[in-house]
Structure formats: structure tokens, C-alpha cells
Amino acid sequence: MIKLTDRLEKIILEKLDDSHYSRKIKSGYESYGGKYDFCRFFLHKSDENGKLLSVINQFNSTMVIAKAKETFYSDAELSELVTLIMMNMPQTIELSVDTAKRIEGKLTNYISCERTEFEYISKNHTPKMAVKETPKLDDVFNVLKTSFPVIAKGYDLWLTDTSHKVRRGLSQCFMLGNYTTATIQYICDNIALVGQVATIPEERGRFHARKLLYWIGEKLNKDGIIVRLFARSNRVSYYEEIGFKELNVDIVFERKDYFE
């Protein structure tokens, strides 16, 4: 049974497993609560005993599914998830790899993509660099738009969401000079997830992004925050050279028309 809810009690959030998906949902709820059409939350419970199976969040075009601890979906419960996905048709779906493998053949409108989760391992040396920790968001956007066409087309949406989360301490942006930036998608449970990283075209190939990521890893580790990020699996060696260690490989679903 899956039902829309506008309230996630603390006891519900505490039942979720320790995963990126749970942290993303927690930070989303902290940011907006459940009273906005663009940020909806669902509770998935067992028909048999009412036990919580998962919490689902659809934020704009992304759906995230976070399982409760020790959850294993029955075939009927899995079918409920597939039905919810096909009713809402999100652009992107993030969920645990075991669940992704079970529903992969059922999502005919989607393709699956592997990505690797990395964690930064500190070298206990923060280099002296002129990094802005509270840059103007317009400056951040002007760099991001050169690498992310979707962001470039949605300035108002990006600015509203980013400023909202930054003010609440749930996100952060960094700038190196006026040419390289990195954003933190969320800060939750002492874990910061790096989101978009970009360098303007004329400055690419000069290792600016590599240096900024190293600086962020050292700085946040020193502050007691674990730094993680996701990247395509063919980028493993690049991030290992900076100081990141591979943790897991998961599966993300993207709607097929995104690639057309």
C-alpha cells in the first residue's frame, strides 16, 4: 500500500536504512516539508501488517526510494512500486541496487545506468587556495551553465532551490577563482554529497576541478564531515588520483526520451 503524505515523523525517518537515498529524502524533507506539489512524499507499507517498507520522494522530475531497515519487497510490493513509477514517470529514479535489479525489466520506458559512489580519504593537508565558501550564486550559475544544459535552461528553479537549501545549512557552493565551481547536493548525518562540478571552457584542462575537489575533501573532513560523490564508473581512476575511494556501484534509471 502506497499513500501520499505531507508529514514524515522523526520515528519514520529513523526507520530508514543508512544510505544515500535515505539522506537525500531526509534533506529534502528538512528543506521543504511535504506541502509542495514539486516535492511529494509517499509511505509504502505492508498490506499484511502495516510495517513500513520504504519512503518515496518525488522532487520535480527525480524520484528517490529509500528502504526501511531489513526490508525485502514481496513480488506484490515490488509491483506497487513499479505502478507508482509508471503513473508518475519521473525523469530519473534513484533506489537501492538490489531493488533496481529486480525491477529493471519492468520499466520499459527507462534505461539503466551504473554509477559509482566514492568517499574522500583525507591526507590531513589542506592546501592554501583562494576558495570562496560563500560565493554569489549568480557566479556559481554562470560557471555551471557552461557544462549543464538543463541547469542553463532553468535559472529561476536552480536559484530558488539552491538559495533555499544554502540558507538552511543543507547545501553549500564553492568557487575557485571565477572559473571553477562545485556544489554540495546535501549535508545530512555528517555526510556531504558533492553535486555538480564545472569549469568554464577556456580554463579546462588545467586541473582546477581536481584541485578544488581535493581542497573540499580536506576542508570538510577537517570539520568532521565525510565527503562523498557519485560518478560514472569509467571515472574511477580520476577520483582515486584525487583521494577518493570507491564504495559502491548502484543503478540509476533514466527515462528514454531524455536521450532522444
CA distance 234 to 223: 30
Bridge partners of residue 164, in order along the sequence? none
Bridge partners of residue 173, in order along the sequence? 183
CA distance 251 to 87: 21
Check residue 259 and give its pLDDT.
64
User: Would you say residue 15 has pLDDT above 80?
Assistant: yes
Q: What residue ranges define each of the domains in the chain, with the CATH number in brackets?
A: 2-108 (3.40.630), 118-250 (3.40.630.30)
CA distance 35 to 38: 9
Please answer whether residues 176 and 130 qualify as being in contact, where contact means their C-beta atoms are separated by less than 8 angstroms. Answer: yes
Please answer whether residues 2 and 80 qualify as being in contact, where contact means their C-beta atoms are separated by less than 8 angstroms. Answer: yes
User: Would you say residue 251 has pLDDT above 90?
Assistant: yes
Give this prediction's pTM: 0.94
Cβ-Cβ contacts under 8 Å for 153 (sequence gap 6 or more): none
Classify residue 156 as exposed, middle or buried by CB count within 10 Å of its CB (0-12, 13-18, 19+): exposed
Quote the distance between the C-alpha of residue 127 and its chain's center: 27
Check residue 234 and give its pLDDT.
81
User: Would you say residue 7 has pLDDT above 70?
Assistant: yes
Q: Which H helix or E strand runs over 80?
A: helix 75-88
User: Would you say residue 39 has pLDDT above 80?
Assistant: yes
